[in-house]
């Protein structure tokens, strides 16, 4: 299967002349300060590189800080690397790359040692060892957590502190990364960004690492923070980077659902501790769907919750914590505090939950060193597609991937940058022509288009999809993209919306092409898994001057195992 589709997408969010803006020069440039970006930056700095870390918001604001459950690592004598690999492959529904899985799983203990050496304080049991728990899809207790349900806060705080202390790392918070800078030979040479005061600046570097997190904000129902607008995938794609498996967007089955309130994740650790799901009639329903009931893989639980909501005509189901061993308020203080604000006592009251977009499995296609097809451009974490998660991410493997492969990418980025020290590259000419003024009397409402996109994606590319709904979604996305490009003012909310529209379009392309159901991708018009589709979906941009003129969508076989 090779499908060619014409597009007309501007490669740049903003016209600029790199010769007329202030320049900063570093060896390695990392965009994002979460688990993956922080690990990459610290590894590069330890490797002797001079590193800049750019973050769109505050240095502490990332997807990582919102992670509740934990990070998976084989540390229990009763566990084994083989078991963790087998669990990951099983949940990945045939699309996880065995070599990548093996490499990440075996590197987990060393990654945890690094975190602890930086100051991370994980929960301990009475003997002083790690208080390991079990989550859905895992056959053993291998989940490290901190503060019960505040693991992301602890990891982010630890990484941020390490970044701020390192003498070879300079942080640039409140810096919006717009477009990649390239050398005459097409190699990544930095990027252009706006600082918090609106100043346009250029950051030059021999190696650029994108670690911008996910794109959950393209969905109306999501656990992701406001910064998760798919910036890294869109930026890389416009620069010519191949994207992979964008149809796989994982929905977390249990988001707190209070009408009018932001969706809040109710971590899987609650179900691992004995929480059960009940419908509006009080009936527990998960045993009907999977032998592991509430600890089934997330795609199974999400579809079961969605089915039960449809069957009962309700807007949510209930999570019952009355059977949790111990005091739920003490075990899950963060969840308890949030629910109490809405008048819910988690020890006795049913907690209303429904699925929400949680994790972007697809992303920029990379190898285990983070390399994209664009020389000098790497990607790590949620904006990258390494092949670890396959078609369905097993819980707590994402933080592990970020820490392991972020570190590995940083090491290799430093080596590449040090080899290039002293070399000079003439930056390729950018699009310096200012856009034509919009037609008089026509305006675009950015807030309205953003909400319309989020609703469209939830209703037509959510837990269930069909070709008819995806075709309709693509037509609307095309219209909105042209309107926003032609009519919207050049400011951050516009640039974020352009990135969200780009990611939404890529997700729809991938989902329409994959005519089967596998993992988190469920098509009611193709409900069965097909052996012929045990392959990745790659979307390759066709670059013509300053335009992305089209894409080629290809079915790509699984790669050979990669040695650790």
331 flagged as catalytic: no
Look at residues 448, 229, 449 and name the one whose alpha carbon lies nearest to residue 357: 229
Look at residues 404, 401, 409 and name the one whose alpha carbon lies nearest to residue 107: 404
Q: How many CB atoms lie within 10 A of CB 8?
A: 13
Classify burial at 557, counting beta carbons within 10 Å of its beta carbon; exposed 0-12, middle 13-18, buried 19 or more.
Answer: exposed
For residue 12, what are its two tokens?
């740049």
CB 29 within 8 A of CB 169: no
Beta strands in 229-360 (DSSP E): 243-244, 249-256, 264-265, 276-278, 317-320, 351-360
Look at residues 11, 49, 7, 16 and name the one whose alpha carbon lies nearest to residue 30: 49
3-state secondary structure (DSSP) of residue 45: helix
For residue 126, what are its two tokens?
């009475």
For residue 466, what are its two tokens?
């069909």
For residue 237, what are its two tokens?
């794609």
CB 215 within 8 A of CB 361: no
CA dihedral 218, 219, 220, 221 (to 10 degrees): -140
For residue 392, what are its two tokens?
């369905």
Look at residues 404, 428, 422, 515 and name the one whose alpha carbon lies nearest to residue 102: 404
Look at residues 530, 182, 536 and name the one whose alpha carbon lies nearest to residue 363: 536
Q: Which residue has the tokens 């149809």?
A: 247
Classify burial at 45, counting beta carbons within 10 Å of its beta carbon; exposed 0-12, middle 13-18, buried 19 or more.
Answer: buried
Looking at the DSSP assignment, which residues form a beta bridge with residue 182? Answer: 188
Helix or strand run (H / E) with residue 255:
strand 249-256
For residue 140, what are its two tokens?
């053993």
Give me the half-sphere count of Cα atoms (radius 13 Å) on the Cβ side of residue 373. Answer: 16
For residue 205, what are its two tokens?
């570097």
Give me the half-sphere count of Cα atoms (radius 13 Å) on the Cβ side of residue 267. Answer: 32
Looking at the DSSP assignment, which residues form a beta bridge with residue 208? Answer: 29, 377
Give me the half-sphere count of Cα atoms (radius 13 Å) on the Cβ side of residue 285. Answer: 22
What is the Cα–Cα distance from 479 to 71, expressed in whole angstroms?
Answer: 41
Look at residues 2, 499, 413 and name the one whose alpha carbon lies nearest to residue 238: 499
- 521 secondary structure, DSSP code: B
Look at residues 526, 35, 518, 558 and name the one whose alpha carbon lies nearest to residue 249: 518
Catalytic residue among 60, 114, 263, 298: 298
Residues identified as active-site? 298
């Amino acid at each position: 299967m090779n499908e060619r589709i014409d597009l007309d997408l501007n490669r740049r969010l903003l016209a600029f002349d790199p010769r007329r803006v202030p320049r900063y020069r570093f060896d390695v440039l990392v965009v994002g300060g979460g688990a993956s970006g922080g690990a990459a930056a610290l590894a590069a700095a330890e490797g002797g590189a001079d590193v800049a870390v750019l973050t769109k918001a505050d240095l502490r604001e990332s997807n990582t800080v919102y992670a509740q459950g934990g990070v998976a690592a084989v540390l229990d004598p009763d566990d084994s690397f083989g078991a963790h690999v087998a669990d990951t492959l099983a949940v990945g529904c045939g699309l996880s790359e065995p070599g990548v899985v093996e490499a990440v799983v075996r590197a987990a203990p060393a990654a945890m040692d690094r975190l602890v050496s930086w100051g991370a304080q994980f929960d301990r049991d009475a003997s002083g060892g790690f208080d390991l728990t079990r989550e859905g899809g895992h056959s053993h207790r291998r989940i490290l957590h901190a503060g019960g349900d505040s693991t992301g806060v602890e990891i982010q705080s630890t990484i941020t502190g390490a970044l701020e202390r390192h003498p070879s790392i300079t942080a640039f918070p409140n810096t919006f990364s717009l477009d990649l800078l390239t050398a005459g030979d097409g190699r990544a040479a930095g990027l252009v960004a706006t600082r918090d005061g609106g100043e346009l600046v250029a950051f030059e570097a021999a190696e650029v690492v994108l670690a911008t997190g996910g794109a959950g904000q393209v969905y109306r129902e999501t656990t992701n923070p406001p910064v998760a607008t798919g910036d890294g995938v869109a930026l890389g794609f416009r620069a010519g980077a191949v994207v992979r498996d964008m149809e796989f967007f994982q929905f977390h089955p249990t988001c707190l659902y209070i009408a009018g309130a932001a969706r809040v994740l109710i971590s899987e650790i609650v179900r691992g501790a004995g929480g059960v799901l009940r419908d509006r009639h009080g009936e527990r329903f998960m045993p009907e769907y999977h032998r592991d009931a509430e600890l089934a893989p997330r795609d199974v639980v999400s579809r079961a919750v969605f089915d039960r909501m449809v069957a009962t005509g309700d807007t949510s189901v209930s999570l019952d914590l009355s059977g949790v061993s111990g005091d739920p308020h003490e075990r899950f203080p963060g969840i308890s505090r949030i629910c109490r604000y809405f008048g819910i006592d988690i020890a006795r009251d049913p907690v209303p939950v429904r699925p929400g977009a949680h994790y972007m499995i697809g992303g920029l296609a990379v190898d285990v060193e983070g390399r994209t097809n664009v020389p000098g451009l790497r990607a790590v974490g949620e904006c990258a597609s390494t092949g670890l998660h396959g078609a369905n991410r097993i819980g707590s493997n994402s933080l592990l991937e970020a820490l392991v492969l972020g570190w590995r990418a940083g090491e290799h980025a430093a080596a590449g940058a040090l080899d290039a020290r002293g070399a000079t590259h003439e930056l390729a000419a950018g699009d310096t022509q200012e856009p034509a003024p919009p037609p008089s009397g026509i305006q675009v409402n950015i807030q309205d288009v953003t909400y319309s996109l989020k609703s469209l994606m939830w209703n037509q590319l959510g837990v269930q999809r069909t070709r008819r709904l995806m075709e309709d979604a693509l037509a609307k996305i095309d219209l909105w993209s042209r309107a926003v490009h032609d009519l919207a003012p050049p400011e951050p909310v516009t640039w974020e919306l352009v990135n969200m529209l780009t990611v939404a379009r890529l997700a729809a392309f991938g989902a329409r092409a994959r005519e089967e159901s596998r993992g988190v991708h469920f098509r009611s018009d193709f409900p069965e898994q097909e052996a012929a589709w045990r392959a990745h979906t790659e979307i390759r941009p066709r670059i013509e001057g300053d335009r992305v003129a089209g894409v080629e969508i290809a079915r790509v076989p699984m790669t050979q195992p990669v040695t650790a």
